[in-house]
Amino acid sequence: MIATAQTLADFRALIGDIPCIDDSKVLESKSKDYYWYSPILKQQLDGRLGQLVVTPRTEAEVITIAGAAAKHRLPVTVRGGGTGNYGQCVPMEGGIILETTKLDRVSEITPGRVICEAGCRMERVEHAVAGTGQMLSMFPSTKRLATMAGFVSGGSGGIGSLRNGMLRDGSNITYVRLVTLEEAPRVIELRGPDIMKVQHAYGTNGIITAMDYALVPATDWVHTVALFDGYDTALRFAQKAQGEGLDAFLMTVVEGRFAPFYKRLAGYFPADKDAVFSMIAPDAMEDFRARVDAMGGTVSLSASLCEIEEQNLPPAWELGWNHTTLQALKHEPGVWTYLQTAYPQPFDPALVMKQIARYGEEIYFHHEMARMYGAVQIFALPLVRWTSKDRIYQIIDEMKRLDGCDTYDPHTITIEDGGMKEIDTTQIDFKREADPHGLMNPGKTRGWTPDMAKA
């Protein structure tokens, strides 16, 4: 339900001098994320708008906003960098957009851990910890824009997951501090396994204000492009290298058909070769080159981050994960969309070759090497030529029935219909405590129905 002008004015009166904007252009841009990767979500979400953007600068201001919103029963959509892909930041019922990016203090850096405020951009935290010889254990390819709590609440894994696992693995985040959405808001601290109550909850059960994150010793990773004849050879190279513990932070495998989208890699990634983009430890470069050689490949690029920047080339982390899809969408908007698929174990490149033969020009393949609960897990983020919603769901069904592949559906807005598959009752129980009136990011979890809201 959209709030009346009077309710909004009453809310504003309660929050005093906390920055608050109702300019229509600002509302439009702050009511969007990257849901437009999906034509299905675009149709569902275009035109959904928040009514006020508030930007707290301290946790005390978050508490003031939460209390005022609860008093007036105003929906609240928390927004970090707004880089989510599933409309996680789109307000379905108007109300307040609470932008966290001014909560950006890094408070404590110790060996292996950083504690910071929720709205810190991940890259800023990385710069802050660099002086101690450390780096983030893992980050999304959007680290320049993404915030720490946005990653906790909306992300899954990324660059570094190859070594340090996915977000759900349990040790990347061990502490979260949040504010409840009640007339008298409370501050709750979650530690250890309890953080799962809010992890990947799309900001539906509490406003995170601070958190910790795992650090690992900093490495001056070598950004590389290795080229192979045949996508199965490229996959086998990456699978073997990961399985045998090559010291790497990222390994992204893409078909040669992606080459025209990678304009900035012209000369390093020709269309008649399939590529592996990696971040390799300097000490492991000899091993890396020998492995590429043994599979009949060539290394077309190897450079430190500093050299990459000097040559105006993209860093390897912006060549993988969902940046790969972005390259295609930048060059051929409206032509492509994508899927997110996990393969049955043990991973068999022959299955991918079967899929390539089956889908021809309809699907271009891209795979990511990761580790989930300690075990190697290989995901695909294939580009799919957009025709219709029915066709997308036919493909998802075929990949399940014929290939045993599970899809984390990126064309849906609820937590359950996307990656999680089922209602997480622990998160819903926590929502009763942290958001008893059901005001946070309405419509994003199937586990909450309006009758559950406290009057």
Name the residues that contact ligand FAD, by CB under 6 A. Answer: 33-34, 77-85, 88-89, 100, 118, 140-142, 146-147, 149-151, 153-158, 202-203, 207-208, 321-323, 326, 441
DSSP assignment of 40-101 equals: HHHHHHTT---SEEE--SSHHHHHHHHHHHHHTT--EEEESS---SSSTT--SS--EEEE-T
Q: Which is nearer to ligand FAD, 190 or 295 (CB)?
A: 190
- Eight-state DSSP code of residue 261: G
Residue 80 beta carbon to ligand FAD: minimum distance, rounded to whole angstroms: 3
Residue 84 beta carbon to ligand FAD: minimum distance, rounded to whole angstroms: 3
Residue 441 beta carbon to ligand FAD: minimum distance, rounded to whole angstroms: 5
Q: Which is nearer to ligand FAD, 216 or 356 (CB)?
A: 216
Q: Which is nearer to ligand FAD, 207 or 234 (CB)?
A: 207
Q: Which is nearer to ligand FAD, 255 or 368 (CB)?
A: 368
Residue 12 beta carbon to ligand FAD: minimum distance, rounded to whole angstroms: 22
Q: Could you list the beta-strand ranges (E) of 131-229.
A: 134-136, 175-179, 187-191, 207-217, 222-228
Residue 83 beta carbon to ligand FAD: minimum distance, rounded to whole angstroms: 3
Give, to the nearest 10 degrees, the angle between helix 349-359 and helix 389-403.
140
What region, left, alpha or beta, does residue 288 occupy, with left being phi > 0 and alpha being psi -120 to 50 degrees? alpha
Q: Could you list the beta-strand ranges (E) of 256-408.
A: 274-280, 298-303, 336-338, 341-342, 363-364, 366-372, 375-380, 383-385, 406-407
Residue 250 beta carbon to ligand FAD: minimum distance, rounded to whole angstroms: 10
Among 356, 404, 370, which residue's Cα sits nearest to residue 258? Answer: 356
CA distance 70 to 52: 15
Q: Which is nearer to ligand FAD, 155 or 256 (CB)?
A: 155
Among 413, 453, 451, 440, which residue's Cα sits nearest to residue 75? Answer: 440
Position with the least CB separation from ligand FAD: 150
Cα torsion 251, 256, 262, 268: sign: positive
Residue 54 beta carbon to ligand FAD: minimum distance, rounded to whole angstroms: 13
Q: Which is nearer to ligand FAD, 34 or 261 (CB)?
A: 34
Contact 384, 363 (CB under 8 A): yes
Residue 278 beta carbon to ligand FAD: minimum distance, rounded to whole angstroms: 15
Q: Which residues contact 269 (CB under 8 A, 6 or more apart)?
A: 225, 227, 256, 258, 259, 262, 275, 300
Q: Which is nearer to ligand FAD, 100 or 337 (CB)?
A: 100
Residue 357 beta carbon to ligand FAD: minimum distance, rounded to whole angstroms: 28
Q: Which is nearer to ligand FAD, 224 or 324 (CB)?
A: 324
Q: Which two tokens stand for residue 105?
A: 């203090």
Q: Which is nearer to ligand FAD, 100 or 224 (CB)?
A: 100
CA distance 384 to 342: 16
Q: Which residues contact 38 (CB under 8 A, 6 or more apart)?
A: 85, 86, 337, 410, 411
